[in-house]
Homo-oligomer: A and B are copies of this chain.
Amino acid sequence: MNKLPQKTALLLIDVQEGFNAPLWGMRDTPQAEENIAGLLAKFRAQSQPIYHVQHLSRNPKSPLAPGQPGVDFMAAARPRHGERIFQKHVNSAFIGTNLEEVLRKDGIQRLVIGGIAVDHCVSTTTRMAANLGFDVLLVADATIAHDRKGHDGAAFPAQLVHAITLASLHGEFATVLTTVSVLDIAFQ
């Protein structure tokens, strides 16, 4: 991969304080916030477009419900003036928002995606982005997984959930790569 084409945007999904709540269970990728901050800094320095997605839960008990402090963006991912914010109520950032319309209007062809959680909102948005015709670079270590339990009670650690989520997406919906690749290769 060489220099990113002009029309590459950063799409950050649900990087919000509410995901620090203990109810989500154990998480992986402790360096994700730092990586997200690094991606943001690079896109800002290169004047590449940045879009933030913010989840507003319809469940009033969720730390991501409107009015809760958890809806705020984490310090690593606070939008700056002029960066668009898309508020959503479901997993996909393309459902109930005008994200697709804005991306098309802005001429975006490729999305660099990071955020939370990799197997819920990040995976769903990545899948729809690809199926709508966008080229997706999914940044493995700028996303976070949590421990999950199956319908039969089987328990799966966050790191394994993360790895298999990415394996299902890689090559079919996205090119999976690391923050270092985006920062050192894609922008060189």
Q: Please classify how large the interface on chain A is, using the bins under 10, 10 to 19, 20 to 34, 35 or more.
A: 20 to 34
Given contacts A92-B128, A128-B128, contact A163 B176 (CB under 8 A): no
Which residues of A from 133 to 188 have beta carbons under 8 Å from B?
140, 148-151, 154, 156, 160-161, 163-168, 170, 172-173, 175-177
Q: Which of B124, B140, B154, B168 contacts A165 (CB 8 A)?
A: B168
Q: Which residue of B lies closest to A119 (CB)?
A: B168
A-B contacts, 22 listed (Cβ < 8 Å): A90-B130, A91-B130, A91-B131, A91-B173, A95-B131, A123-B168, A124-B128, A124-B131, A148-B168, A149-B170, A150-B167, A150-B176, A151-B166, A151-B167, A151-B176, A151-B177, A156-B163, A156-B164, A156-B167, A161-B164, A164-B164, A164-B165
Given A124-B128, A124-B131, A128-B128, 12 further pairs, Cβ under 8 A: A91-B131, A95-B131, A127-B127, A140-B151, A149-B170, A150-B176, A151-B167, A151-B177, A160-B164, A161-B164, A161-B167, A164-B164
Q: Which residue of B lies closest to A170 (CB)?
A: B151
- Residues of B near A128 (CB, < 8 A) are 92, 95, 124, 128
CA distance A172 to B164 in the complex (A): 18
Contact A149 B167 (CB under 8 A): yes
- Residues of B near A175 (CB, < 8 A) are 151
Within the complex, what minimum Cβ distance (angstroms) separates A12 from chain B? 19
Decide if A132 is an interface residue (CB 8 Å cutoff): yes
- Residues of B near A91 (CB, < 8 A) are 127, 130-131, 172-173
